[in-house]
Every structure is written in structure tokens, then in C-alpha cells.
Structure 1
Amino acid sequence: MTIAVSPTTAEAGSRLQGVPGPARPEAPAHVIRDDAEAIRVAHELAQHFREGASERDRTNARPLAELDAFSQSGLWSINVPKIHGGPEVSYRTLAQVIAILAAADPSIAQIAQNHLGIVAAIRTVSDEAQQAELFAEVLAGTRFGNAFSEKGTKRAAEFETRFTDHGDHVIVRGKKFYASGALLAHLVPIVALDGEGRAWYAIAERDAPGLTVIDDWSSFGQRGTASGTVIIDDVRVEKHRLVPAWRGYAHPSADGAIFQIIQAAVDAGIGREALDETVRFVREKTRPWIDSGQERASDDPYTIRAIGDLTIRQHAAEALLERAGLAIDTAVANPTAESVAAAQIATAEAKVLTTEVALAAANTLFELSGTRSTLAEHNLDRHWRNARTHTLHDPVRWKVAIVGNHALNGVNPPFHAWS
């Protein structure tokens, strides 16, 4: 079942209240064996998620049951290293998994993004003991949320959230927004700065005293992500749960490209579903235009051309996504300045095209399907709303710029989590 967590409104002057976190899984999660099983399980889950996706969007429901199925399936541990008991599938496969699930419900796919990114970061920056502890949590079915971004700072990479050292633990204070996954997580990694201005992931229990997750996400798209507010009021985090995020960008690593390829994969899935919805609607419901001379809308030559164009662009986007995954796999295996830059460039190219085709497919859906497709009973506008909302992550005008600067001037991309 799907539970709806209704935010308290401020219409009567009341304050939004925090929402309790979900229960830990009663049984250990499944562990995926290999890439082929990861793809197969993704398709099985996607079939299930698609059934209620429109209604969840319509009612602003939170997909707790679906997330439980997702994390228990083993797909939340697919990039845990083999040495720690994980499947360590390729990032080519991981991107395919996210795209498959995003086609069914892009909110659910996006919720996993920061979790999988954190798993990658732990591999890069944590010592052996910390890796063993945190990867064991992930393999058991524990979900990481996120409390990264802040709404009030001048730039995305600037943080006011800080922690103070208290011997065996730290105390964290701050406020976050765009916290996708935090509402339904078991652990919440908080990006916080130390006294030297270095960024760490302070991983707090979801229901830790002082940690308040508010369900106040009001975007018109990606509604199920519940990417609202997290208030961190003197939250205690033990030192063994303090992950040195800054180390991931002190030396070449694929961490930034990994965060980015998952975003591109979500957009690829949105584009695929919007295109498939267009084909279904035109075949089954759309009337041919009066001047076409056709009995079926699907025989309209202009419609045929538009579908052909979108299909080619979607396939090109998916091909670039696969190419980016291969480049990331190379950079993970051998992280040099050159291999990491190649992964960043390939991922930027994929991000540009997946963004463009997601928006084009979601818009063309209505152009080809006609006025009937705008009726509320179909809820097809969710594809455009999701595409428009999600593609605002990490603006593609800057992706185009770094690709061009590299091609023209040999300049490597900037090295941070948004590139």
C-alpha cells in the first residue's frame, strides 16, 4: 500500500511539524548477484511502480511501501564493492536501472539518487572500518536520505550548516532544503562544515533528537520525492558516522560524475515514458486531423515524422547515457585526472541530451495527442511537470559550456559534486 503523509498547512497560522521516520526493515535485504539480475529486478519493480504512479502524483502520496520494496530488492546496494559483500555492478548498469525505474515513477528513482551517490563516496573517502560498518547497513536494507542543499546561501556549493567537536561525537546545527529521500530514510547524511571549512557527511539517525524533517515540498513536479526542509538543532552524530566528504574532491575521483549520471538517468526515464505515452494515446484515442485524409491519427505523416524524430533523439540520449556509464567505470577503476575528466565530459553530454529529450517528449505528447490528452482523468501533465522540475538540477547550459571548452581549449571540467 501507499501511505499519504499530509503536511500541516500554515493557513491557520500553525507551524509545519516534523514527520516521524519509517521503521527499519524486519528482514535483511536481498543482495543482487550480478548486472543481469539488477536489470531484471528493475523491470519487475517498474511494472509494479507504474500501476500507482499517476494516482500517487494526483494525491501527493508518499511512496513508503514502494520504497520498502525497492530497497529490500537489493537495488539500493548495487554499487557496494564486492570486497564488502556487494554486487558492485557497473555504472553502465546502474544508470540503466535508474532509467527503467524513472520511466515508471521518476520520484521513486530520484529518491535513490543521493543514497547511491553516498555509497560511492564512502568507497572513495572512508577508511576500512567505516566502509565495513556503513556498507553492512546498506546491504541490510538501510536507506540513506540526504540533507545537503541549503536554500538561503548564495551558491549551491556554499553551506552554513556546521558541527563542533565534542570528543567521541560532534554536534551539528543548520537547516537544509531540497532534501530528497530524508522523509522516508533510516539514516540522514548531513553535509556540514568543520572548523576548517571542510565538508563532511554527518550521518544521523532519522529520528535523532533535534533532527526534524518537514514535509513541505510544494513543487508542481517530482511530488513524491518530498524534497522539503530538514532542521538540524544540535544533533549528535558519533565520530564513526562522520564521513570526510571533502576527500572525494581533494584527488581525482568519479564521485561527481556518479551523482550526475543518476540525474541524467532519471531524465532519460521520463523521456522514455512520455514518448511511450504519446504512442499509446495517438494509437488509441487521438482523432486524425481533418485535412490528413487518414482514418487513423497514427497514419498522419506529420505525426509519424514527429514520433520518428523523438525516437531517434531518445535512443541517442540513452546511448550517451550508456557511454557515460562506461567512462565512469573506467574512472572508478583507475581514477586519474584524465579518466575523471573523460567521465565528467561524457556525463555532461548525456545530461544535455536526456534533458532536451525529456522536455521535448513531454511537450510533444500534447501536441500530437490533442486536446483530449489534457483532461485531468489522464493526468498526462505529470510527465511535463516531472521533466521540467527534475531537469532544473545542475543547469545544462553549463554542461554545454564545459563540453565546448574542453573540445575547443582542452580545459577540463571544474571538479566538484555538480560537475
Structure 2
Amino acid sequence: MNIAVDARTLETRTRQGVPGPARPPSPAHVIRDDAEALAVAHRLAAEFRLGASERDRNHARPLAELDAFSQSGLWSINVPRAYGGPEVSYKTLAQVIAIISAADPAIGQIAQNHLGIVAAIRTVSDEPQKQLLFGEVLRGTRFGNAFSERGTKRAADFETRFTDHGDHVIVRGQKFYATGALLAHLVPIVALDAEGRAWYAIAERDAPGLSVIDDWSSFGQRGTASGTVLIEDVRVEKTHLVPAWRGYEAPSADGAIFQIIQAAVDAGIGREALNDTIRFVREKARPWIDSGQERASDDPYTIQAVGDLTIRQHAAEALLDKAGLALDAAVARPDAESVAAAQLAVAEAKVLTTDIALAASNKLFELSGTRSTLAAENLDRHWRNARTHTLHDPVRWKVAIVGNHALNGVAPPFHAWS
């Protein structure tokens, strides 16, 4: 099942909320180890790839695919072993997201905030809350996202607040870029308390006063449905109030974990764009008249360009692996040194994954020729997805962070975007 959205439906849904999905009828599978996580990711990617172009073309919401994804066990792969989870390496987690994102980067991105919240719960929640929320995740519950707000001066400025009512809080505000909220079971809302501290107030998807509006109109990452969430006096039990602010009181890898998943999405986009370039050049492109070649794939300039892209893709993926291992070390023993090392490794990976996602999705057309721009091919989705997703965090600041550390020994900034 897909939730398709045409222009008239999109216009209607800018004014009303959309009901959430049903909870899974049976518990999700629990992955055994890293090898199984990668095998399951490859299997799902083969299935998701089949309908990815049509979902993009039709602005379809991947409900059936998300159900398969979360029920497969891949949404609980960073739940600690002490709570019944697989606790795979973050190198493996990033590879999983890249594999899924190569098939459909919207589906890969939807998992990002869920996995980041799981990491944050490990860092900041007390034991009863960990038992409760990790149990939800292992059963197949999907977390969405109601973090970002439009209209504030900076991304870190929030106007959404809650008031304390004893055993529960009441949340009020408005969010945008709410990736995953439309098809989630629970929606973590970033809200401030009376002291200005940020919490994740995790609300039921269909809680009274919570409206998820399907008004995402971006030209890329269409299936993420990253639109508006209205929060009008929404009740959240204290059991589901997670102290996000504690994750930044002392060194933790939480911000870098969110970031590596973003980098993995871009790595997946670059990989698929390069694969489609190779396929199109081999099967459909014509050699230029001056090349003297019978096949476009024998054009020496095309060979050189594909070689360059392949090397850059492999370099980006190697840095992604390195960043995952640095995160493993920081999660195991979080201190100022290990966290800074993880932040720097993730920043380096993000620079190269951004570069290859944009380069490969653009070069595709130069090497494949005019035919590759036809609507029937829908190859522009790779560039649209890359251009949209790589805007999440300005990569020029990642370069500056790495350079400032190399030159001046300055540690990366410590916040949710680093």
C-alpha cells in the first residue's frame, strides 16, 4: 500500500491532518548481528528499488515499504544488547542506511530520526524509561520527528514549549521538516521547559491536538512527507518525556550519530546515480561522432569520467566506514577526545558524500546524453534527491571544522548538528 498524493490532494492536506498508520499486528524481527543486518538491508533494497521511480513520480508515501523496513528489525539495530537489541556497529548502521538509500533515499531518510532518538535514549534516559522505550522499538514501533521550526532566527531556536501538569505535560507549538511523522506510530517533539531546556516529548501519532499535515512540496525526497506538524495542547505522559538536554551536558556522540546517518543517505544517492550512469551508458547512450567508437562505453573521456566518479564514491564510503568506527569508540567510552574524533570523522565523511551525491547525479546526464533527460527515465530524481537532502546542514561548515582543528587544534562545536 502507498499513500499517493496528487496536486489537488496536496492542496487539501495543507489544511487538515492525515491519520497515522496502525501499529504492527505482530512484533518485529530482532536482528542477530551485523552480518544479518547487511543481508536484510540488501534484500529489502532489491524490493524497494522496484517501485522507487514511480513513488517519486507520483509523490507516493511508502507505507508498505516502511512497514517491511521496520518489521525487518533494521529499526532496532542500535538498541543496546543489555535491553535485548542487536547493538550493531555504527559502521554497519551507516552501511545499512546507504544500501536502503541507494534503492530509495526517501525511505533511508525516514529512518534517520528514529535511529537518532534511539541513540539519545541510550544517553539520557533513566532505566525505567529505557526499558519502556527500547521495548517499544523492539516491537516495531516507529518514531517520527517534530524537531525543526520555520521562522526562527536559527535552527537551534525553538518556540514550542510544554507546561508541567504533574504526571504529564501539555505541549504547544508548530513544526516543519517533520520527516517520518506522517507514517510514524510515535512522534518525538522537541519542546522547551520553563527553564529553556530541550526535551523530546514523545506523543502518540493520533493524540488529540496533534495534526500531521501532508504539505511537503519539495522537488526532491518527495516520499519523506517532511511537512508540518501542529501541536495544540497535546498531552504527553512523563514516561515519554525524554531529557534531550542531558545529551549535551557532557561529551556524547548523539549529534554525530544523527549526522552520520545523513551522510549515509547521500552515499546511497551517489552510489545509485553512478550505477544508473554506467547502466545507461552501456545500454542506451550513443558514442560521439568524433570518438571513432562503436559503443559509448568505449569513449575514452567517458571512461575517464566514470573512473573519477568511482574513485570518489569509494573514498566517500571509506570515510563513512572510518566515521562509523570512530562513533563506536565514542559510544563505548565517551569523553572529550573520543567524541571530537568521531565528530571530525563524520564531518569528513559528510563532505565527501555530499560531493559525490551531487557530482554523480549531475554527471549522469553529461555522460548519458539528451535521452537521459526524458520524463520516462525519471533519472532527474537522483539530482533532485541529492540537491534537496544535502541542504540539511551546510557542508562548507564541515570543511571549516576540519580545517580549524587541523590548523589550530580547535575542537568541533558540540551540539545536535555536529
Whichever residue aligns with residue 92 of structure 1, its letter is K
Tell me if the contact between 2:14 and 2:213 (Cα under 8 Å) persists in the aligned partners.
Answer: no
Cα distance in 2 for residues equivalent to 1:7 and 1:294? 46
Cα distance in 1 for residues equivalent to 2:300 and 2:5? 47
Aligned to 2:101: 102
Say yes or no: does 1:145 pair with 2:144: yes
Cα distance in 2 for residues equivalent to 1:9 and 1:133? 37
Q: CA deviation at 1:56?
A: 0.1
Say yes or no: does 1:336 pair with 2:335: yes
Aligned to 1:373: 372
Q: Map Cα deviations across residues 155-197 of structure 1 (whole Å, 9 max, x no partner).
A: 0000000000001100000000000000000000000000000
Cα distance in 1 for residues equivalent to 2:248 and 2:405? 20
Cα distance in 2 for residues equivalent to 1:254 and 1:417? 9
SS class of match (1:393)? coil
Q: Map Cα deviations across residues 10-69 of structure 1 (whole Å, 9 max, x no partner).
A: 869x96210000000000000000000000000000000000000000000000000000
SS class of match (1:290)? coil
Q: CA deviation at 1:9?
A: 5.6
Aligned to 2:44: 45
1:267-416 pair list within 5 angstroms: 267-416=266-415
SS class of match (1:322)? helix
Cα distance in 1 for residues equivalent to 2:10 and 2:265? 32
Q: CA deviation at 1:7?
A: 7.2
Cα distance in 2 for residues equivalent to 1:11 and 1:328? 42
Tell me if the contact between 2:10 and 2:215 (Cα under 8 Å) persists in the aligned partners.
Answer: no
Tell me if the contact between 1:282 and 1:369 (Cα under 8 Å) persists in the aligned partners.
Answer: yes
Aligned to 2:159: 160
Cα distance in 1 for residues equivalent to 2:351 and 2:71? 32
Q: Map Cα deviations across residues 68-91 of structure 1 (whole Å, 9 max, x no partner).
A: 000000000000000000000000
Q: Map Cα deviations across residues 136-159 of structure 1 (whole Å, 9 max, x no partner).
A: 000000000000000110000000
SS class of match (1:17)? coil
Tell me if the contact between 2:253 and 2:327 (Cα under 8 Å) persists in the aligned partners.
Answer: yes
Cα distance in 2 for residues equivalent to 1:406 and 1:264? 20
SS class of match (1:320)? helix
Aligned to 1:93: 92
Tell me if the contact between 1:124 and 1:248 (Cα under 8 Å) persists in the aligned partners.
Answer: yes
Aligned in 2, Cα 1:6/1:234: closer, same or farther, shift over 3 Å? farther
Whichever residue aligns with residue 191 of structure 1, its letter is V
Aligned in 2, Cα 1:136/1:386: closer, same or farther, shift over 3 Å? same
Flag as ranges the 4+ runs of structure 1 deviating above 3 A: 5-12
Say yes or no: does 1:204 pair with 2:184: no
Whichever residue aligns with residue 2 of structure 1, its letter is N
Q: CA deviation at 1:3?
A: 2.8
Say yes or no: does 1:134 pair with 2:133: yes
Cα distance in 2 for residues equivalent to 1:48 and 1:220? 24
Cα distance in 2 for residues equivalent to 1:108 and 1:4? 15
Aligned in 2, Cα 1:389/1:161: closer, same or farther, shift over 3 Å? same
Aligned to 1:61: 60
Q: CA deviation at 1:4?
A: 1.7
Q: TM-score, normalised by structure 2?
A: 0.99
Cα distance in 1 for residues equivalent to 2:326 and 2:138? 26
Q: TM-score, normalised by structure 1?
A: 0.98
| Structure 1, unpaired ranges of 5+ | none
Q: Map Cα deviations across residues 323-353 of structure 1 (whole Å, 9 max, x no partner).
A: 0000000000000000000000000000000
SS class of match (2:94)? helix
Aligned to 1:189: 188
Aligned to 2:18: 19
Aligned to 2:114: 115
Whichever residue aligns with residue 179 of structure 1, its letter is A
Identity of counterpart residues, as a percentage? 84
Cα distance in 1 for residues equivalent to 2:11 and 2:354? 36
Q: CA deviation at 1:2?
A: 2.3
Say yes or no: does 1:4 pair with 2:4: yes
Tell me if the contact between 1:182 and 1:188 (Cα under 8 Å) persists in the aligned partners.
Answer: yes
